[in-house]
Structure 1
Amino acid sequence: MRYIFFSLLLPFCLTSSPTSTLALEYKSEHTQNHNFASKSIDETFYTRASQLVQQQIDLIARIEQALTNPDANRLRSVRGQLIVQTNSVEGFVNRQYTSPVTLCVPRVDLSVSPLPNQLTKSQAQIYCSLYTSSQELLKLSPMLDRLLSRRGELALVRQLPLVTGERQFDPVLSIAPIQHPNLSQVAAPFSTGEPNISTDTLATEQQFTEIFSPSVIVARTAKTAIANYTPPLQPAIAPPVEALTTLANAKQILTATQQAFPPKTKFTDPHETAVTLDRFAYDLDPQESQTYAKFLELPHTGIFRVLHSSAYQRPLNTLQNRLQPSVSERYPFPLLGDAQGEFNPSLALQLVGDRFQLGHQGVDYSFMLDVGDVPLEQLDGKLQTVASPTRQFFLNYQPPKQLDALQVERRRFLTGKDQNWNQSQAILAGATAELNHTYLVRSLQFHIPKTIAIGQPISQPERPYYLDQLQQIQSSDTLLAFRAVRRRSDGSYTVLWRVLNQLPAPQIVDVE
């Protein structure tokens, strides 16, 4: 009887067993789906939050640049980007938790305070950092508006288009369409109409200024190339201290919150990127110094990048903040000797057109000659490997001792005219740039006092003091050589240089 009972019960047991198995499988699958969904939500949070943090970092860098840039359109751009970024951050934080003010008040400690169910401790830190930094940057809005009104004094600020209901033509001149600004371009400055002189004839911005100034000739007043013309004075723009403080606070918050992201999350620093790009445009490559390390171990040697003269000039009809460091200040020319107070003889070598030339000021001048494919190691202070006429001229040349005669001598080397030195070719201040060629240079530099350089009239009683100042002028006479070892696609060269001899410093004993 017992066996009959179990035989009747067996089909029911077999029928219920798959149901239990399916229930267990469903429960396991539901748990896996829940964990996967939770992981997916976390990844979405970190992905979107990292994008907003990076955008915030980039915006801070753009605002810092706009604060010191005279372009009004750049200020208008960051002003609009600040509004867009603030709305993006607010939308993100409100989707995570609707009361950021309650959660992110400064007195709340996230390690002990209750967190929303959907946020972990690290997520709450990121959440509050984004919200706090965004609110900090929002304080810049009135300052940016005030600065934009000042930029309007330098360049034309056109009206932005309206969303709807805008006139298509000028209200006064009905046939003239309204012109809207392109914020990706520089605003047109009011100070236009600068003379269009070829920059290939100029070596430095200082020389560009001298062309139109009345003191081209030292200690004399000369006629200007354009009568009654005064170059426009460039603006001096210093960023407000309160704006820099606000940006620093926001940057500090964002820097601290980067530690809360997963280790694989990476952020880029726009300042480091800008420095890298600037060095790529104007400086040597890091490996170049290593390539020529053996040569650079020799005394009085160096390596630097020779740029086109346009790199040191301000483009015509453009604005430039004169408080910002120029290219020559960021990447100074190599010094040819020990600094002597304000007098620092340097190798101001530049490319003027397709020629190497030293950019001199005042009564400084130089002359150079291409000696061909001669290694720098084979050159010495006596120039034994150089042809005799060239060697004799470079070693025995004596500069004049009068200020006026020095300036006449300078023009001889610039023009190649009136040279009675018994040379088979003219000795010039520049030479055609050729790769793997070596150039011999004699550079004479002077530190003229300002009282002498401006050319003010000197009375007879003041003449002894004036002559005493002339005799105390600091000067240098350097014999050196350089070799072009690399040419880049932008036309700039990498050169190795070596000082061969420091000749006796020339003396100026009188004006005439």
Structure 2
Amino acid sequence: MRYIFFSLLLPFSFASVPGKMQILDRQFTSSPNQNLAAEPANESFYTTASHLVQQQINLIARIEQALITPDANQMRSVLGQLTVQTKSVDAFLNRQSKSPKTLCTSGVDLTENFPLAEQLTGSQIKIYCSLYTSNQELLKLSPILDRLLSRRGELALVRSLPLVTGERQSDPALAIAPIQHPQLDKLATPFSAQEPNVVSPSPPIIGRTAKTAIADYVSPIQPAITAPPEALTTLASAKKFLSAAQVEFPLKNQFTNPQETTAILDRFTYDIDPQEPQTYANFLKLPHTGIFRVLPNLAYQRPLNTLQNRLVIDVSGRYPFPLLDNPKGGFTPSLALQLVGDASCGKSCGLRFGLGYQGVDYSFMVDLGDVPLNNLEPKLQAVARSTREFFLNYQPPKQLNELQVERRRFLTGKDQNWNLNQVILADAKAELNHTYLVRSLQFQLPDMILSGRALSPQERQSLGQIQQLRSSDILLAFRPVRRRSDGSYTILWRVLTQFPEPQIKDLETSINS
């Protein structure tokens, strides 16, 4: 448990949930000889059985994670752990009875017809047989995991595995070659490695072909992995038998579920604390308000040269951005607020709040200072006059290209001819207990405009429906009320005004071009 906890307190490299499960593998590092060694004759049945049941629960959780993880080392690790665990359980069962299969499948009086190494109660026999049947189910997984390991070898390099105790590798240059140990806790090297660390200086231009940093470069497609149904069925059956065993132990609730623990730690890493909504309950009773945890933008990005199952729900799916309005025809304007900068080095790094939008969406914001969020209302009487007039009277362009030019003005701060004594930007320096005013414009552009592809004949017949643009123009404010050591902030937000939906007049021209 402590390994998982401390791994989550590291700076926001934001390992995914599958990465956390790999840390659990390190807890299964005891030698096979140690697990299979004969225990004292006066061993406590409940002590040994509870240990094996918990190990079985942990192993099932690791196997379930390995089934949907593209890492070959994780699959290889659980394959070895399955062998060790099933042998350990068999050794325990055989010490109680030389024929556990006959004992647990006879359907007769077990205590009278079959000799046991020690007198067992009815509950102990139920635990004994539940362990046996669960173990038999898990043995069915060995060929499945072996087959899946070969498939994982199509994604990442599967190196030859040294002995558990280490082995020397011959080296023509070194007189004494170093001892190489297995390192299954590390991710296997994907074949699609050496991804360039190129950050786009500005958002792509919609409706126009633009140069890229690397000509003709296409980023690798992440694999789509689903667990085999037969494996899931087997695991479900094994868990059912283990659940039957757990209720027979004299101490209730003595077993931990690794998946529940992982879910709790995941919420601890990415979500608000459970008591925070209670702390700000009075504010949250107001209409169009909410509370949200703003994460560094690295939380939503896949690290370079790593594999991820694209079917697994990512951070933005598990903890979605707050909705600013009711969904309309699949269009859901949201507060996609993120932190840009290095979250691990404190205030000196200059973390900034920014909104991560797509297409021609854009926004701009200003730091109002320590202005109470409750003091803001739709007419912005508590805001300086020049800022108030700009945020209330701003009119977005009505042409696609002009919208993108406008977005670059707010991103760069250049060519702003608005007769203001300050530059209005798309982001702002993150400060605790400051209030930020935001004007957010979002558009749901047709897919053929975003992708630049030509219309099919069927799409041209339904061109009128395609041109129905959905958009939003929202004035809101947010206030960070807590900063964590990982760099994330808890914010309160409030929608102040919803302006008329902005339109793009040359959308038909853009589609037909």
| 1:112-131 mapped onto 2 (5 Å cutoff) | 116=116, 118-131=119-132
| Structure 1: stretches of 5+ with no match in the other structure | 1-39
Residue 115 of structure 1, CA deviation: 7.3
CA contact (8 A) 1:68 1:238 kept: yes
Aligned to 1:149: 150
CA contact (8 A) 1:434 1:484 kept: yes
In the superposition, relative to structure 1, how do residues 265 and 299 fare at CA in structure 2: closer, same or farther (>3 Å)?
Answer: closer
Quick one: which amino acid aligns to residue 132 of structure 1?
T
Residue 126 of structure 1, CA deviation: 0.6
Aligned to 2:472: 476
Aligned to 2:6: none
Aligned to 1:381: 378
Deviations 1:365-390 (A, max 9, x none): 00000001111111011101000000
| 1:456-495 mapped onto 2 (5 Å cutoff) | 456=453, 472-495=468-491
Deviations 1:75-99 (A, max 9, x none): 1111111111111111111111121
CA contact (8 A) 1:159 1:181 kept: no
Aligned to 1:497: 493
How far, CA to CA, are the matches of 1:291 and 1:77 in structure 2?
44
Aligned to 1:36: none
Q: Out of 259, 270, 283, which is 1:271 matched to?
A: 259
Quick one: which amino acid aligns to residue 412 of structure 1?
R
TM-score, normalised to structure 2's length?
0.83
Aligned to 1:302: 290
1:182 equivalent in alignment to 2:178: no
Quick one: which amino acid aligns to residue 510 of structure 1?
D
Q: Out of 310, 313, 316, which is 1:325 matched to?
A: 313
Provide the alpha-carbon RMSD of the alignment. Answer: 2.8
| 2:150 counterpart SS class | helix
In the superposition, relative to structure 1, how do residues 443 and 83 fare at CA in structure 2: closer, same or farther (>3 Å)?
Answer: same
How far, CA to CA, are the matches of 1:82 and 1:457 in structure 2?
53
Q: Out of 495, 499, 506, which is 2:502 matched to?
A: 506
Quick one: which amino acid aligns to residue 344 of structure 1?
T
In the superposition, relative to structure 1, how do residues 110 and 450 fare at CA in structure 2: closer, same or farther (>3 Å)?
Answer: farther
How far, CA to CA, are the matches of 1:390 and 1:190 in structure 2?
53
| 2:305 counterpart SS class | coil
Paired residues in the alignment total 457
Aligned to 1:69: 69
In the superposition, relative to structure 1, how do residues 322 and 416 fare at CA in structure 2: closer, same or farther (>3 Å)?
Answer: same
Quick one: which amino acid aligns to residue 91 of structure 2?
G
Aligned to 2:404: 407
| Structure 2: stretches of 5+ with no match in the other structure | 1-39, 342-350
In the superposition, relative to structure 1, how do residues 318 and 99 fare at CA in structure 2: closer, same or farther (>3 Å)?
Answer: same
In the superposition, relative to structure 1, how do residues 43 and 387 fare at CA in structure 2: closer, same or farther (>3 Å)?
Answer: farther
How far, CA to CA, are the matches of 2:41 and 2:275 in structure 1?
46
Quick one: which amino acid aligns to residue 327 of structure 1?
V
Deviations 1:442-463 (A, max 9, x none): 000000011222224689xx99
Quick one: which amino acid aligns to residue 448 of structure 1?
L
Quick one: which amino acid aligns to residue 191 of structure 2?
F
Aligned to 2:451: 454
TM-score, normalised to structure 1's length?
0.84
How far, CA to CA, are the matches of 2:42 and 2:109 in structure 1?
22
In the superposition, relative to structure 1, how do residues 173 and 66 fare at CA in structure 2: closer, same or farther (>3 Å)?
Answer: farther
How far, CA to CA, are the matches of 2:67 and 2:362 in structure 1?
40
Residue 51 of structure 1, CA deviation: 0.6
Quick one: which amino acid aligns to residue 389 of structure 1?
S
How far, CA to CA, are the matches of 2:267 and 2:386 in structure 1?
41
How far, CA to CA, are the matches of 1:363 and 1:138 in structure 2?
54
Residue 100 of structure 1, CA deviation: 0.3
Deviations 1:27-47 (A, max 9, x none): xxxxxxxxxxxxx99981101
How far, CA to CA, are the matches of 1:106 and 1:333 in structure 2?
57
CA contact (8 A) 2:166 2:182 kept: no
How far, CA to CA, are the matches of 1:109 and 1:423 in structure 2?
91
1:227 equivalent in alignment to 2:215: yes
How far, CA to CA, are the matches of 1:308 and 1:156 in structure 2?
31
How far, CA to CA, are the matches of 2:177 and 2:217 in structure 1?
34
CA contact (8 A) 1:169 1:178 kept: no
How far, CA to CA, are the matches of 2:52 and 2:287 in structure 1?
53
| 1:443 counterpart SS class | strand
Aligned to 1:99: 99
Aligned to 1:396: 393
Deviations 1:205-243 (A, max 9, x none): xx9xxx7xxxx2222222222101000110111110000
Compare 164-173 and 286-295 and name the one that shifted more: 164-173
Aligned to 1:338: 326
How far, CA to CA, are the matches of 1:156 and 1:49 in structure 2?
38
In the superposition, relative to structure 1, how do residues 423 and 82 fare at CA in structure 2: closer, same or farther (>3 Å)?
Answer: same
Deviations 1:10-34 (A, max 9, x none): xxxxxxxxxxxxxxxxxxxxxxxxx
1:369 equivalent in alignment to 2:349: no
Q: Out of 421, 431, 447, which is 2:428 matched to?
A: 431
CA contact (8 A) 1:444 1:478 kept: yes
How far, CA to CA, are the matches of 2:108 and 2:208 in structure 1?
73
How far, CA to CA, are the matches of 2:79 and 2:251 in structure 1?
33
Compare 437-446 and 106-115 and name the one that shifted more: 106-115
1:349 equivalent in alignment to 2:337: yes
CA contact (8 A) 2:164 2:182 kept: no
In the superposition, relative to structure 1, how do residues 422 and 137 fare at CA in structure 2: closer, same or farther (>3 Å)?
Answer: same
CA contact (8 A) 2:165 2:181 kept: no
CA contact (8 A) 1:158 1:181 kept: no
In the superposition, relative to structure 1, how do residues 447 and 482 fare at CA in structure 2: closer, same or farther (>3 Å)?
Answer: same
How far, CA to CA, are the matches of 2:449 and 2:239 in structure 1?
50
Aligned to 2:299: 311
How far, CA to CA, are the matches of 2:108 and 2:502 in structure 1?
73
1:443 equivalent in alignment to 2:440: yes
Aligned to 1:195: 196
Deviations 1:92-129 (A, max 9, x none): 11111121011111745769977746211111011111
How far, CA to CA, are the matches of 2:104 and 2:313 in structure 1?
41
Aligned to 2:54: 54
How far, CA to CA, are the matches of 1:254 and 1:42 in structure 2?
25
1:248 equivalent in alignment to 2:244: no
The structure with the largest alpha-carbon Rg is 1
Residue 263 of structure 1, CA deviation: 2.9
Q: What percent of counterpart residues are identical?
A: 69
How far, CA to CA, are the matches of 1:458 and 1:239 in structure 2?
37
